[in-house]
Each structure stands twice: as C-alpha cells, then as structure tokens.
Chain A
Amino acid sequence: MTLFRLAFLSLKSRGMTVGLTILAIALSVVLFLGVEKLRTGARASFTDTISDTDLIMGARSGSVQLLLYSVFRIGNATNNVTWESFQDIASRPEVSWAVPISLGDSHRQFRVMGTTPAYFERYRYRGGRPLAFQQGRVMADLFDAVVGADVAEQLGYVVEDPIIVAHGLASFSEHEDTPFRISGILEKTGTPVDRTVIVSLEAIEAIHVDWQSGAQKPGAPTPVDRLREMNLRPKAITAAMLGVESPLQIFTVQRAINEYPEEPLLAVLPGVALQELWGIVGIAETALVGVSAMVVVTALMGMSAMILSGLNARRREMAILRAMGAGPWAVVALLMIEAILMGAVGAATGVVLLYLGLAAIQPWLDYTYGLFIPITALSAREGLLLVAVLAASALVSLLPAVRAYRMSLADGMMIKM
C-alpha cells in the first residue's frame, strides 16, 4: 500500500468533487494549449506562405503593409509601381528573377491577381514547395485564368468553366463583356493562393481598356477581337517578388530600390517584415497567453481550496496514518501527491480534449479564416507548459499540506472530533 495508492483511493472516494476539480483543470489546459496551438499555427501559417523570395518590392508605404497586401492579400496598396521602374529594377545584374503582381480586381469574394507565368515557377511556400496543378495548366490565352483550390471548391469550378472578373473589390460593376475561362486549378497550399484567381498582367490591362477611374467609358465596349490586337503592355503593377543572385546582394538591391530616384519605392525582406508583424501582434498574443495562464492558475487555486475545505473531514484519516507510524511529512506528501495526481489527470484530459477539439474545428478554421492548424504532437514548449501545470499543482497544494502538517502535529494520533 503505497502513498500513491492511498492518494488514488482517497481521490476516488470523493469522485464528484474530484471529478469537477479535474474537469476545471482540464478545460483550463485546453484553453491554454489551444491558444498556444492557434498562436503558433497562425505564425507557422503566415511564415509558410512565402519562401525562397528574397525581396518584395512595392510603392513606398510601411513594410508590414506591403507584406500584407502583396503576400497575404490583406488590405490594399496605397500606390502602384510603374512598369518602367519595375523593368529598371528587374534588369539590374544582381536580380536573378522578378515576378510582377497586379491586384485590385475580384471574382465573387476572391481576389484576382495579374502576374506572369514565371509566378508559377518562382512562388514557393512551406519551405520551398512549388505550386502544382490538380487540373489543367498555366494560362495560355489572354482570357485564361488559374484558380486556387478554395476558389474551385467553394464555387464548384472545373477547367473550361467561364468566369467573370469584377473591377475593384466587392464591386457591383462586373466586367461582363470580358469573360474568362478557367485553364487550371491549383492544388491546396494552405496559403492565400488557394483563395486567389490568377490571370496574366495583359488580361488585367485588357479588362480595363474600357474603364477609367473605376467607371465604364460611355459607348460600346471594345470587342474581344480588338482587345487581342491591342498593345496590352501594363502601365503599372502593384508589387513584385524578386530573387537575387547571391544572398550577399540582397541588401544592395534593397538599398537600390529604396533609393530609387524616379519613384518612391520600398523593398522588404519577407522574414524581416514578418518579424515586424510579430512585434505588433506580439502584445495581443502575450495578453492572450497571460489570460489563459490566469485561467489555469484559477483552476489550480480551486483545487487548492477543494483540498483545504476537505481537510477537517479528513482529520481522522490523518490520525490513523499517524498512528500507523506515518510522520507528518507523509501526510504532507499524501496531499501533494493528491494534488499532482489531479493536476496530471486534468492535464492529460485537457490534452485529449484539445486534440478532439482541434480535429473538430480544423476544417471550419481553414474554410472560414484560411487558417490551417496542423494537428501535430505537442511541442517542447507545450510539453513544458504541462510540466509547469504539474509543478503549479504541487505548489498550490503546499497551502493545504502545510495546514495538514500543523493539524497532524497538534492532533497526533488522537482524533479530536
């Protein structure tokens, strides 16, 4: 009969109270780890969105803003980059490749992005993975469009379906006269690409031929055949992804762009801009972690109060143990073991609930927020958090344990009830 077994049996005999206490701990652990999983998941999801791109270039604004609109399609560009400036930068000897992107149009709730076919070679995500097609291929015709996996899934598109691109975001005025055809559907990536309609830069120009300042020019629209014959060289782009010959030259190119005399431009390293973003989001994250940690502490205080309130009723139990030769320290150990057991069962239950919950809400999070939380084993940090919960259980049990120590010294083996 070990102390451990004694503690276990004693807890079992108080099933209801102990069960509720454990549930409170479990739920607090779910919240704590859940916040942690969401936080790291969101970070990983952001970080995984772009890789192998050395610099992102756009009109001068904030580096976080540039990163957000160019890569994550969050917010809008304040200004465009002229085609000449882009050509200038792209032709620099240090620049090994440059992919322009043009944003601003939408298809249903999805953004439309104009780019060059090089985008499909150069855009990499999740540590260097290239885009892949589940159906069809890169656009070949002026009015071809490639759609991301979510676009295809949510709108039920297959290759060869016609689609209509609207000017501006959430716009009522649709470019009805220039219908596009889907040439390819991309595999799911877990990045904003899934929610993007990709067309050529020329196509973006073509649909704006009859438009000026966001309104259609009066008169008959230009026929499609005429459009095909027009010079559709873009006048401006929204941003560009750049690759540099050698990592050593990244800063040279960045400086050249930032000091570009013809036009105010900005170049950012995606990783650095992300760090800056985390710096901003970090405060909210810290608050969230802090609040969920407080919930764990509250649950553990509840456990301490529960043990404390049960002490008087257990004086006889302690006196019996003392008579059997247990020292007061054995009583202390017994109470601490009980607390740690409850903490451990609570933490384990919490982990199980966490994974059940993650499995349940994962598709919804992905669908609704484009946030993919991978179901992975607990990280070292999360494991450490669980150990901290156990340590805190032991710590909060000190209060009732010390009280029990005093009681059992005063009572000895005589039961005063």
Chain B
Amino acid sequence: MAMSNSPAAATRPARSGGFTSRKLAPYLFLAPFVLLFIAFIVAPLVYAFYMSLYRDTLVGGRQFAGAASYIKVMGDTKFWGGVWNLVLFGIVQMPIMLSLALLFAIVLDRGQVYAKGVFRLGFFLPYAVPSVIATIIWGYLYGPTFGPFTQMAKAFNLPPPDFLSPGAMIFSLANIVTWEYVGYNMVIYYAALKAIPSDLAEAARVDGASAWQFARLIQLPLLWPAILITIIFSINGTLQLFNEPYLMRALARNTINSSYTPNLYAYSLATSNQQYGYAAAVSFVLGIVIAGASYIFTLITNRRRPEQ
C-alpha cells in the first residue's frame, strides 16, 4: 500500500489543492467514527467479555471462573423465563404492529382516502414521544384509581378492567409498544412503496390485474427487503425490552419482577447485586439469542419468499 504510493506520486507534479493523498484519505474520513466505535462499542464488548469470565464474590473479591457464568446462564430459569415472556410478547405484538403498518402504508400510497397528510402525520406522531413518557401516559390511563377506563367502567357499574394483572400485563405492554411504533414502520414501508417504479403499475393495468393482485404479486415481493428489515429491527427491539416494563414496575411491582425481561434481569444483577460478571454473561447470551433469532428468521423467510 505504501509502496504503490511513492512512485506514482513522484512522477506526478505536486498538487496545488491539498496535501492529503488519495490513499490516506479514506482512513482520515473513517477516523472519527472508528475511534468512537472502538472506544464505545469494541472496548466495552471486550471488557464485558473479560468480566464475564470472572466471578464477583463478597468475600474473595474478583476470581477467575472461566465459562462458569455461561454454564450458569444456560440453566438460569430467571433468564429463560424472561426470554419466554418476550417470545410470547413478540408473537402477539409484532404481527399486529407490522401488518397494520403495511396496510396503512399501502392505503395511503394509493391515495384512496381523504386527508392523506393528516393520517400520515398523525400515525407517526407517537414515535416522537419518548418511550419513558409514553409509558407514563399509558400508566396514568391504565391506572386503577383514577384512570379514565376505570372511571368509565364505574360510571356504568361494570367491574373496572385490571390492565396491571399478571395475565393482562403482557398485552398492556404490547399496546404501548404498538402505539409507539406502528407509524415508524409505516413510514419505512411508505418510502419503499414510493421507490417502486411507476411503469410496473402501468404494466399490471394493461395486463388486467386487480388492485388486490397488484398488491400481492407486485408490491409485496418488492417490499420484501423493507419488511425483512422491520422484522429484524422488531425482534431486536422486543428481546431488548426494558424502558416500558421498568417503569410499569412502579405501578405493578408484584406482576413485573426483576427478571420479567432479560434486560431488566441484567440491569438488576449489575445495579442492585453488583454482579457485573454475571450481568455481562447474561447480556452476551441475550446478544447471541437475538442474533440467532434474526438469522433463523432470515433463513426461513428466504426459503418461503414470495416469488417475484
């Protein structure tokens, strides 16, 4: 690399514009990002892996434990219980959220409604609300003492709905996440629909395709990369769920325990128990679960991918 640089530079006259050579330029452009990337992603990961190989004990301090933490995670019912909670959560929530987003994007793209702009903006607005604030608002709405749904039930002499019971909590959380992200996913699909070349619609019309056939046979296959991305993002976000259950805990401490989701578990291990090594191992295994789930999903769907 350095060798090829010198003869070429020698035969050419010195440039007037700048002294940065073309060989060096990409490294300089990359430098700020890569430095931050190393400092705040690579280094913490390496450090976390190092910590996960040690055990923090109250008496003996930090001791090397090898893979002991990982073996412990494998049999940790608290960790897998949290993963299971989120698998159930994802099975209910992801299809609802993504199919609503897809439906709205297709309808808005076709312009078959009045006041298109209002819908596009209105659906997206909840995404601007931080999840902490969204959870606080929904927490007020769910509230068993002065929540409006409780008030309405009481006004009609009905038993007030218990959104915070162990059976209902997963749906109450799913509702918050759905409220937050339908519009975001809709915008992704909408942008992808806009990128579909317009001559395809023309060709389909000439061939006598119905609107439904056009959506199913032309738009859906072309949208597939966008759909795949949103699914992988959703799997990722679901398995990392933290803010919503962490704050709902303040309302329902008995329903949401400290290992309700894997991230809650890792957080409580690290903060209340100071078990940094074990918390790091839990996070690593969670990362592997997320990467594995995304990978398996990509494999399955690529096989069953709609024909173009």
Whether both chains belong to one complex is answered with no
Chain B interfacial positions (CB closer than 8 Å to A): none
